[in-house]
Structure 1
Amino acid sequence: MSAPGLPFFVYGTLRPGEVNHDLFLRGRTLREEPARLAGAVLYQGPGYPYAVEDRGGWVTGSLVTPLPQAYGELLAELDRLEEYAPGDPRNLYERVTREVRIDVETGLGLGLGTGTGAGTEMGTGVTVEAREGGSASLPVRAWVYVAAPAVAARLRARGKLIESGDWLARR
């Protein structure tokens, strides 16, 4: 299944300020925005994290929108970095599409006020989640590299959970 043009949700070494961001993403993106992934938790890996799907958790990261001319090459490079190949049972990660949420200011004419998580339908089928402090959370479909099933099972059994869900806060 291919969904060309989707942004990427990154949560570990590809986040701004981390080593792989500079190696792979610097100068190749249109936008990088703070974002959150619901339905996953974060585990410590050997120098990098794994997102493991779990209904009760949240992972903090960035939504990265590549430059159109860099997209195909970047997708292939990130697949290699994450040791992902479609259908390969040796994968460390699986690349899947998931809904992530980005925070936006409510002063953009959305008419949302400052609720506490109440959803508002914008007339387009998009539900905006109003948040404290005058911001809102918008859903965006993105590629996410999550732990492959065998890796996820090992992590659930004996991995080290990053309780905050934020790789940068682990230090």
Structure 2
Amino acid sequence: MTARNPHHLPFFVYGTLRPGEPNHDAFLRGRTETEEPGRLAGAVLYDGPGYPYAVAEPGGTGLVSGELVTARPESYDRLLQELDELEEYVPGDPASLYVRVEREALRLRDGAALRAWVYVAGPAVAERLRARGRRIDGGDWLGHRRPAGR
């Protein structure tokens, strides 16, 4: 078995890339080794037009629920490029809708902290959301979209 590239971080996904969501099927199905529940601390969620935005909250108590997704090594490079395109992330462009950052996420099954890629709202989007966005209480976009009893 080939050793895993240490630069191939897992992805922390919290919206349409979560299992059962449309972008999971379109981008991740069959290209992952593991998908397991996780949390991202120091961020809050805001409702967007059909998808959420995680906004960094340094020093804050916010928690975002999602999954830690480990891509298959042979799929990693192409998947990273496709996810950057999906999230409209252009490295170095402050107008990017999202930016891909390396953050620590917690794996729920054992509480282990892992470094992972996460797409957070770009600077201009984050500023607008902090000023007048609709925050998702509890930090779980799926729970927000699917209220109890539905």
TM (normalized to structure 2)? 0.90
- List runs of 5+ in structure 1 lacking aligned partners: 105-135
- Deviation of the 1:18 alpha carbon: 0.4
- Deviation of the 1:4 alpha carbon: 2.7
Letter in 1 for 2:128: R
Paired position in structure 2 for 1:145: 119
Instruction: Provide, for residues 94-148 of structure 1, a one-character-per-residue CA deviation record: whole Å limited to 9, x for no partner.
Output: 10000000022xxxxxxxxxxxxxxxxxxxxxxxxxxxxxxx4110000000011
* Structure 1 runs (4+) greater than 6 angstroms displaced: none
- Deviation of the 1:72 alpha carbon: 0.3
CA RMSD between the two structures: 0.9
- Deviation of the 1:164 alpha carbon: 1.4
Paired position in structure 2 for 1:5: 8
Paired position in structure 2 for 1:75: 80
Paired position in structure 1 for 2:103: 98
Which structure: greater strand fraction?
1
Aligned length: 138
Letter in 2 for 1:76: Q
Paired position in structure 1 for 2:3: none
- Deviation of the 1:9 alpha carbon: 0.2
State the distance in 2 between where 1:75 and 1:165 align. Answer: 24
Which one of 26, 31, 42 corresponds to residue 29 of structure 2? 26
Kept after mapping to 1: 8 A contact 2:95/2:123: no
TM (normalized to structure 1)? 0.79
Letter in 1 for 2:23: N
Compare CA radii of gyration and give the structure with the larger one.
1
